[in-house]
Structure 1
Amino acid sequence: MSSDPWGRVDETGTVYVRTADGEKVAGSWQAGSPEEALAYFERKYEGLVVEIGLLERRVRTTDLSAKDATAAIVHLREQVDAGAAVGDLDALSRRLDTLVTTVGERREQRKADKAKQSEESRRAKEALVAEAEELAASEQWRSAGERLRALVDTWKGLPRLDRRTDDELWHRFSQARSAFSKRRKAHFASLDAQREETRRRKEKLIAEAEKLSTSTDWAPTAARYRDLMRDWKAAGRAQRDAEEDLWARFRAAQDVFFQARGAVFDERDAEQRENLTRKEELVTEAQKLLPITDVKAARAALRSIGERWEAIGHVPRDARASVEGGIQAVERAVAEAEEGEWRRTNPEARARAAGLTGQLQEAVDKLRRQADQARAAGNTAKAEKLERELAGRQELLDQAVKGLREFGG
């Protein structure tokens, strides 16, 4: 008979294993010595040790499910309980008990983690729904649309909830996206209709601009083009692919008119600059008449200058006041000379001036005599009053005499 601390082999070849509950038959051995029998059943024990160790490591280091771990434990426990091995089977049983506890704890932890993850997912999805419902009322079509697409991607990355909760939240999320899409579609449909109306309005403006392009009625046509430009800006924008073409046609029609007007104005400006040079020469010629010594000759020369002046035509607007001021100064000098000559040669005016002078002289002489008489009589107050009146009449007489002298009197 052969034995070791955990088992023995009797004389019949039966192999026993020692446990806390006593010996159990591990098996029988007829093919060799008792030592070989013990060695064989010890190797089976070592195999169980290895398998349990591997399961412990898998439970500790991998995401082995509780179900699979429990099945493996049950399978190993059946082998340990069968006792077909020689070794400390009680120790293996305790290790399996520990594994059962560990797997149970991990199962509960995973349930807690799953519940936490589900709650976090629920809150995240509720936040996505709330944001989507807020965006549904937005009119920031581009940014809101891009954000809603990003929310969908975020939703897809979140874990699913229970079917009912997940379906309810997804329904709200989808409704918000649909509401936004419907409003955006209606907005752009309205915008397209508005832009089509703008295109038709601009076509009419182009038609009028093209009709006006050959006009030579420069000022009214230019004013009408300004009105058309104001109407163009007020019309808004047509479709993007049409706007550039419409604007090119509108500008082309204006360019035809304004280029033609510019050519005419350039020619007119050149002519008016030449006219200015000629009129400046006439101003110089007229200024040589000053000072006036012969009124008739000056008037005749000025008349000749005026006829040539009128024949020349227009000058540039910014030079008109200066050049006309020069000729007008000479015209005023001639007119003043003519007026002075008329006063000197008008017999009626001379007679009136002489008569007035005589009347004033008589009045002055009379007041002087009266004042002398009053003073001689000792009436000082009356004399002073008469002398004041005499001073006023004397002043008028002096002016009359001066006027009479201008007639050569």
Structure 2
Amino acid sequence: MTSDPWGRVDDEGTVYVRTADGERVVGSWQAGSPEEALAYFTRKYEGIAVEIGLLERRVRTTDLAAKDAQAAIDHLKAQVAEGHAVGDLDALAKRLDALSAEVESRREERKAARAKAQEEARAAKEALVAEAEQLVDSTQWREAGDRLRELVDTWKGLPRLDRKSDDELWHRFSHARSAFSKRRKAHFAQLDQQREEARLRKEKLVLEAESLSGSTDWGPTAARYRELMADWKAAGRAQREAEDELWTRFRGAQDVFFQARSAVFDERDAEERENQTAKEALLVEAEALLPIGDLKAAKAAYRDIAERWEAIGHVPRDARGRLESRLRAVEHALREAEDAEWQRSNPEVRARAEGMAGLLQAAVDKLEKQLVAAQAKGDARTVAKLESELAGRRELLAQAQKGLEELG
């Protein structure tokens, strides 16, 4: 019988392997010596050991799926348990058990990682859904639309959840996008309608503006253009191309009218400035009549000046009041001179003035006599009273006599 530490060959050629559970037959050898038999079955052992080493390397250095790794381990375990080999099969079994535990540990780690990734993906998708639902009522159409497209791209980059959860979240996400898109479409449809209405209104305004461009009724037409401009602003904006074209026509019509008006007004302003110069020369003539000496000659000269004044025409508005005020001052002086002349030549006025002077003279004479009598009696109180009254009457008498002198 031939043997080594891990097996033996008996005299009949039966090959045994030694394990912790005892010996077991692994085969028989009839073709050669017992040493060759042990060498053959030892090589089979070494082959299994090599396969185990290769599997250990794959498990530890590649992304081999746990299921595939465990199937390979089970296959090798069967070879170790039932295989026809001579060697330390218990050591190989321990290596496979350790490798199996390692695979299981990695399976749990991956399971936990997948669970964590799923939770993170769920949280990320729920956040995307929440943001999408917040954007539903936004009126920042471009910004919100761009953001929703970004959210879709982010969603596509996230792992899938379980089918039910993923479908529920996607339904909410998709519903939010659809609701926003529906609102945006309705908004722009309404905006298009408003712009079309604005275009129609502005076309009418343009037609009226163009019809007024040749008017020479300057004031009312200018006022109407101001009203048209207010209506234009209130009409809202049309589509950009139509808005630009209509505005060019509208503004052009206004320019034609206001340029024509400016030309007329410029000519009128030049004429009014010439009129101002002419009236200022007349004022020099009129003011030379003051102070008035010969009333009759002054009145005739003023009538001639007034007739020429009216024939000249309008002057600039800012000079009008100043010039007319100077002319009215001359006219007022003439009127005062006429009033004074009338006062002097009116017999009724002279008679009233003479009568008043006579009455005042009589009153003064009476008071003087009373004063002499009071002084003779030594009545100081009466004297003081009469002196005061007499002073007042004498002053009034002096004024009346002066008026008579002025009447001539």
8 Å CA contact retained: 1:136, 1:180: yes
Report the residue type matching 2:248 in the other structure.
A
Structure 2 equivalent of residue 22 of structure 1: 23
Structure 1 equivalent of residue 356 of structure 2: 356
Within 2, Cα distance between the matches of 1:206 and 1:12?
A: 123
Structure 2 equivalent of residue 317 of structure 1: 317
Structure 1 16/268 Cα, relative in aligned 2: closer, same or farther at 3 Å?
same
Structure 2 equivalent of residue 118 of structure 1: 118
Query: Is the counterpart of residue 260 in structure 1 residue 229 in structure 2?
Result: no
Query: Is the counterpart of residue 133 in structure 1 residue 127 in structure 2?
Result: no
Within 1, Cα distance between the matches of 2:302 and 2:13?
A: 165
SS of alignment partner, residue 25 of structure 1: strand
Q: Deviations over 1:4-31 (max 9, x none)?
A: 5445667887765543333643674847
8 Å CA contact retained: 2:26, 2:85: no
Within 1, Cα distance between the matches of 2:194 and 2:28?
A: 97
Within 2, Cα distance between the matches of 1:172 and 1:15?
A: 71
Report the residue type matching 1:81 in the other structure.
A
8 Å CA contact retained: 1:18, 1:24: no
Report the residue type matching 1:311 in the other structure.
A
Structure 1 78/209 Cα, relative in aligned 2: closer, same or farther at 3 Å?
same
Residue ranges of structure 2 left out of the alignment (5+ in a row): none
Structure 1 equivalent of residue 293 of structure 2: 293
SS of alignment partner, residue 406 of structure 1: helix
Q: Report the Cα offset of residue 262 of structure 1.
A: 1.0
Identical counterparts, % of pairs: 71
Q: Report the Cα offset of residue 269 of structure 1.
A: 0.9
Within 2, Cα distance between the matches of 1:341 and 1:57?
A: 143
Q: Deviations over 1:268-308 (max 9, x none)?
A: 11111111122222222333333333333332222222222
Q: Where in structure 2 are the equivalents of 1:256-405 lying within 5 Å? A: 256-405=256-405
Deviates more, 1:7-16 or 1:42-51: 7-16
Q: C-alpha root-mean-square deviation of aligned residues, in Å?
A: 2.8
Structure 1 41/360 Cα, relative in aligned 2: closer, same or farther at 3 Å?
same
8 Å CA contact retained: 2:16, 2:23: no
Q: Deviations over 1:329-375 (max 9, x none)?
A: 33333333333343344444334323322222122112221222233
Structure 1 15/338 Cα, relative in aligned 2: closer, same or farther at 3 Å?
same
Q: Report the Cα offset of residue 312 of structure 1.
A: 1.4
Q: Report the Cα offset of residue 106 of structure 1.
A: 1.8
Within 2, Cα distance between the matches of 1:205 and 1:234?
A: 12
8 Å CA contact retained: 1:344, 1:407: yes
Report the residue type matching 2:122 in the other structure.
R
Q: Deviations over 1:228-253 (max 9, x none)?
A: 22222122222233222222222122
Within 2, Cα distance between the matches of 1:154 and 1:175?
A: 17
Within 2, Cα distance between the matches of 1:402 and 1:42?
A: 170
Q: Report the Cα offset of residue 118 of structure 1.
A: 2.2
Within 1, Cα distance between the matches of 2:374 and 2:350?
A: 36
SS of alignment partner, residue 22 of structure 1: strand
8 Å CA contact retained: 1:364, 1:393: yes
SS of alignment partner, residue 120 of structure 1: helix
Q: Report the Cα offset of residue 69 of structure 1.
A: 0.5
Within 1, Cα distance between the matches of 2:198 and 2:70?
A: 76
Structure 1 43/64 Cα, relative in aligned 2: closer, same or farther at 3 Å?
same
Report the residue type matching 1:399 in the other structure.
Q
Deviates more, 1:348-357 or 1:152-161: 348-357
Structure 1 4/211 Cα, relative in aligned 2: closer, same or farther at 3 Å?
same
Structure 2 equivalent of residue 225 of structure 1: 225
Residue ranges of structure 1 left out of the alignment (5+ in a row): none
Q: Where in structure 2 are the equivalents of 1:138-287 lying within 5 Å? A: 138-287=138-287
Q: Report the Cα offset of residue 150 of structure 1.
A: 2.2
Report the residue type matching 1:229 in the other structure.
M
Within 2, Cα distance between the matches of 1:26 and 1:254?
A: 117
8 Å CA contact retained: 1:26, 1:83: no
Within 2, Cα distance between the matches of 1:108 and 1:3?
A: 45
SS of alignment partner, residue 215 of structure 1: coil
Report the residue type matching 1:404 in the other structure.
L
Q: Report the Cα offset of residue 264 of structure 1.
A: 0.9
Structure 1 308/39 Cα, relative in aligned 2: closer, same or farther at 3 Å?
farther
Within 1, Cα distance between the matches of 2:274 and 2:40?
A: 134
Q: Deviations over 1:82-120 (max 9, x none)?
A: 444444332222111111111112222222222232233
